[in-house]
């Protein structure tokens, strides 16, 4: 099977928890020194040999569109524009219609997880998620897998001394939503957790640099990391 070279970035978030440090711009455009956070994601995807990117945009999307236009670092950029916020699931469902191949990577526009995308494989599943090994955390729920890397359960957010969290990068089949009765607006995370057995969901574990700029302290940390 040829390697996937298309990626969807979910850029529709309002960034409400970041309002104290950024305002009136989409969260992926949060400034890091002299460039937006989204530019770091695109540079990462270029290193991963991605050739086409679909930006799933909503809130003040013209700011993103005017900045990146239709290409960046020789990668084609296509916009999947939400007329109203569709949630991460609805945004992914709409964006998948714009990919050319049979599958695509899906990434959050406020997270960087410095993994090798080619390590994610579907085999006979509809989705493979990148998991991050974490210690002493309570901000995230955790994921349990078996010895074959199949997902077997999810745990709610609580203090966990050692566990695996969803790193926000997925390889998905273009037909992942086929056969489900879905609203146009829904959460991808909830869909994933509610249907992981039917999707034969699998995982790949990494211990790599991970940052989610969704809260001010981690946004500042990323700025410091890139000083």
pLDDT of residue 101: 95
pLDDT of residue 151: 97
pLDDT: which is higher, 13 or 213? 213
Instruction: Indicate whether 213 pLDDT > 90.
Output: no
Measure the CA–CA gap between 121 and 128, rounded to whole angstroms. 6
3-state helix, strand, coil in the chain (%, to 5): 25, 35, 40
Measure the CA–CA gap between 2 and 112, rounded to whole angstroms. 25
Q: Record the tokens describing residue 194, joined without a space.
A: 């509610």
Measure the CA–CA gap between 207 and 71, rounded to whole angstroms. 31
Cβ neighbours, 10 Å, residue 6? 24
Which secondary-structure segment (H or E) carries 111?
strand 111-113
Mean pLDDT of the chain: 92
Q: What is the arithmetic mean of pLDDT over 22-39?
A: 87
The percent of residues in the chain predicted with pLDDT above 90, rounded, is 75
Q: How many residues does the chain have?
A: 227
pLDDT of residue 15: 59
Instruction: Indicate whether 1 pLDDT > 90.
Output: no
Domain ranges for the chain: 6-225
**Nearest of 136, 194, 191, 196 to residue 165 by alpha carbon:** 136
pLDDT of residue 80: 97
CB contact at 8 A, 194 and 5? no
pLDDT tens for each residue of 98-111: 999 999 999 999 99
CATH architecture designation of domain 6-225: Alpha-Beta Complex (3.90)
Cβ neighbours, 10 Å, residue 51? 13
Instruction: Indicate whether 227 pLDDT > 80.
Output: no
pLDDT of residue 19: 66
pLDDT tens for each residue of 126-183: 999 999 999 998 888 999 999 999 999 999 988 989 999 999 999 999 999 999 999 8
pLDDT of residue 16: 66
CB contact at 8 A, 118 and 153? no
pLDDT tens for each residue of 56-88: 999 889 999 999 999 999 999 999 999 888 999
Query: Is residue 173 classed exposed, middle or buried when 0-12, 13-18 and 19+ CB atoms within 10 A define those classes?
Result: middle
């Amino acid at each position: 099977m040829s390697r996937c070279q298309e990626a969807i970035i979910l850029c529709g978030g309002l960034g409400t928890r970041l309002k104290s440090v950024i305002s009136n711009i989409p969260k992926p455009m949060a400034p890091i020194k002299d460039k937006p956070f989204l530019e770091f994601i695109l540079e990462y995807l270029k290193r991963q040999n991605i050739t086409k990117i679909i930006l799933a945009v909503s809130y003040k999307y013209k700011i993103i569109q005017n900045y990146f236009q239709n290409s960046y670092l020789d990668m084609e950029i296509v916009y999947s524009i939400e007329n109203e916020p569709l949630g991460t699931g609805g945004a992914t469902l709409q964006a998948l219609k714009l990919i050319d191949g049979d599958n695509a990577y899906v990434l959050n526009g406020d997270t960087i997880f410095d993994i090798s995308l080619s390590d994610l494989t579907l085999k006979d599943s509809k989705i493979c998620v990148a998991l991050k090994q974490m210690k002493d955390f309570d901000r995230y729920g955790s994921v349990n897998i078996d010895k074959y890397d199949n997902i077997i359960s999810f745990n709610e957010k609580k203090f966990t001394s050692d566990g695996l969290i969803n790193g926000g990068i997925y390889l998905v089949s273009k037909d992942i939503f086929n056969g489900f009765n879905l609203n146009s607006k829904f959460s991808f995370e909830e869909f994933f957790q509610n249907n992981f057995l039917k999707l034969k969901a699998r995982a790949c574990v990494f211990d790599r640099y991970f940052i989610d700029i969704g809260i001010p302290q981690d946004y500042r940390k990323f700025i410091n990391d890139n000083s």
